[in-house]
Structure 1
Amino acid sequence: MEVVEIKTENETKVKIEEPQDEDSKENIDRINSLKSLGPFIAGRVNSQNTIYLSDVPDICKDKPCMLGVDEAGRGPVLGPMVYGISYCPLESKSALNELGCADSKQLTEEKREIIFNELNTLEYAKSCVGWAVEIISPNVICTSMYRRTKCSLNEVSMDSAMGLIQQAIDAGVNIAEVYVDTVGPPEKYQEKLLKRFPNFKITVAKKADSTYPIVSAASICAKVTRDHALKVWQFPEGLIIKDNAFGSGYPGDPVTKRFLSEHIDLVFGFPRLVRFSWSTAENALADKAYDMEFDEPDSEKPKFAGGTKLTKFFKGTT
């Protein structure tokens, strides 16, 4: 199995491919899940997004396919949000059932890892099921929500989902049906997706991961990716957190609360792992960080000496 890194201006794509010769097959046992991709995740600049793509099974290019979309890590104050897609031919739905794809929230972390590993190593699975994930960094989430033209978390989520669907199209997947776990009102989201992809049958529903196995497969890919992204997280600020013990990242987790209270920089706030735009982070900083004052920008319009406006020189010209 080969890991191919493709860099673009704003993101990095990593394509997972099967070995092309006997020598490279020696590595297949070492790179059979995202555990082995940890060094690649850790090596990313944490302010950028990263996309991982499996190889596309040939049958997915020929037969009409279903594609599922789901995310992991939408609510936590720490770490990335991960969007995932999974796809397989309509006639191969039994492979998803055989893998054990069910509501990913009801599966243990260990069981999700087993399913993901089998998805990439068992012949009956990898010959008909493909996947892709996008790791959306905390920094991208925060800057999107804080920028002058604000981009909500829902918009970030929808853009990622549509981007991954487009990745599958560009890779040659013959998509016929799309199933999506909703963000916001299902009707509006479905209308948005149909406008972008009018040729597909699109279903957007609440708790789709517990209803449609293909969405559950996407959810498993997303959750396993986020779990391992956190396990191998490297702090560019130089922090050393033993076993990356910052908890689940959810605001109610006492371990996460302790991490936030113990790692406040009075000037710069929190490490890049933290989503600054979350009220949990803002409240934690409110009474501890230094107050900052910024000079107001000069509001006077530039003029020439003597008060002559620049526009005067363009009046009446031909």
Structure 2
Amino acid sequence: MKILGIDEAGRGCVIGPLVIAGVMVDEKGMELLGELGVLDSKRFTSKEREEMFSKINSIALKVKVCVIQPCEIDEANLNYIELRVTSSIISELRPDVAYFDVPTHPRGVRNYCRYLSHLISNTTAKLVGENEADVKYPVVGAASIVAKVERDRIIDDLQRRYGDFGSGYPSDEKTRRFIREWYERRGTLPEMVRRKWKAVRDIINPQLNLPIP
């Protein structure tokens, strides 16, 4: 049986891409992931994630990583982006069963899964979508780790190019200061910032209702 797990990293950030990963294993691979203690990527240090990343890639039948840039995120609803990318991963890898994290309120899980099923082609995979699936299913936890490691590598590259902007989350004062000072000096924002997000406008000026160039 081919078992697929899908999860993302970077959904709530205002800097950097959203990364969605799919990890497909067989039943033996599921056992090995369980023995590794693979869970939500946020529970591990960066070094631990890198070590698990290598082991996950050696266990997996296939790994698929999709990177969605800020300019793409600015042009579409984030839930729809996740639905579209998740459906493309399932359609391409064609598992027997797919487990994935659902980024909606619990009341919206059923509708999310129903909509996803209409987007999928070339497979009759059983779909299992739940809130916090990454702490329930090792294969989703593995996808969470892959997505986080891949995104961290992108963020490290952006830090080298633009300087230290913190975590990229709007609650991080270093991130807020970076965005505010960049905009004050240049009157615009770098491409790595999700310019149309309300959180970004609020950092610059809560009264700013115009698009950020």
After TM superposition, the score normalised by the length of structure 1 is 0.59
Once the two structures are superposed, residues 89-126 of structure 1 have per-residue CA deviations (whole angstroms, 9 ceiling, x without a partner) of 13431121233312222112211111002233x5xx2x
Matching residue within 45, 54, 58 for 1:108: 45
Distance 2:152 2:69 in 1: 14
Matching residue within 250, 253, 259 for 2:178: 259
Pair 116,287 (structure 1): closer, same or farther in 2 beyond 3 Å: closer
- Tell me the residue number matched to 1:270: 189
Once the two structures are superposed, residues 8-38 of structure 1 have per-residue CA deviations (whole angstroms, 9 ceiling, x without a partner) of xxxxxxxxxxxxxxxxxxxxxxxxxxxxxxx
Once the two structures are superposed, residues 150-202 of structure 1 have per-residue CA deviations (whole angstroms, 9 ceiling, x without a partner) of x3111111111112222323xxxxx1111110022210111122334471111
Once the two structures are superposed, residues 132-159 of structure 1 have per-residue CA deviations (whole angstroms, 9 ceiling, x without a partner) of 11111111111x1xxxxxx311111111
After TM superposition, the score normalised by the length of structure 2 is 0.86
Runs of 4+ in 1 over 3 A off after TM superposition: 265-268, 284-289
Distance 1:234 1:101 in 2: 28
* Contact map agreement 1:119 1:129 (CA 8 A) in 2: no
Distance 2:42 2:97 in 1: 23
Residue 183 of structure 1 aligns with an amino acid whose one-letter code is P
Matching residue within 99, 112, 119 for 1:179: 99
Size of the aligned set, in residue pairs, is 205
Distance 2:182 2:103 in 1: 32
* Contact map agreement 1:116 1:224 (CA 8 A) in 2: yes
* Contact map agreement 1:104 1:210 (CA 8 A) in 2: no
CA RMSD of aligned residues (A): 2.4
* Contact map agreement 1:269 1:285 (CA 8 A) in 2: no
Matching residue within 80, 84, 88 for 2:21: 84
Query: What are the within-5 Å matches in structure 2 for residues 29-68 of structure 1?
Result: 64-68=1-5
Q: Secondary structure at the match of 1:264?
A: helix
* Contact map agreement 1:116 1:221 (CA 8 A) in 2: yes
Residue 112 of structure 2 aligns with an amino acid whose one-letter code is Y
- Tell me the residue number matched to 1:137: 69
1:194 aligned onto 2:126: no
Q: Secondary structure at the match of 2:196?
A: coil
In the TM superposition, residue 257 of structure 1 has moved relative to its aligned partner by: 1.0
Structure 1 vs Structure 2: percent identity of aligned residues? 32
Once the two structures are superposed, residues 236-273 of structure 1 have per-residue CA deviations (whole angstroms, 9 ceiling, x without a partner) of xxxx53xx311111111011011112111567521111
Residue 24 of structure 2 aligns with an amino acid whose one-letter code is Y
Structure (1 or 2) with the greater helix fraction: 2
Q: Secondary structure at the match of 1:246?
A: coil
1:158 aligned onto 2:83: yes
Residue 102 of structure 2 aligns with an amino acid whose one-letter code is T
Distance 1:265 1:139 in 2: 21
Residue 180 of structure 1 aligns with an amino acid whose one-letter code is F
Q: Secondary structure at the match of 1:156?
A: helix
Residue 159 of structure 1 aligns with an amino acid whose one-letter code is R
Residue 166 of structure 1 aligns with an amino acid whose one-letter code is S
Question: Can you give the 5+ residue segments of structure 1 that lack an aligned partner in the other structure?
Answer: 1-63, 145-150, 170-174, 293-318
Question: Can you give the 5+ residue segments of structure 2 that lack an aligned partner in the other structure?
Answer: none
Pair 234,255 (structure 1): closer, same or farther in 2 beyond 3 Å: closer
Pair 287,223 (structure 1): closer, same or farther in 2 beyond 3 Å: closer
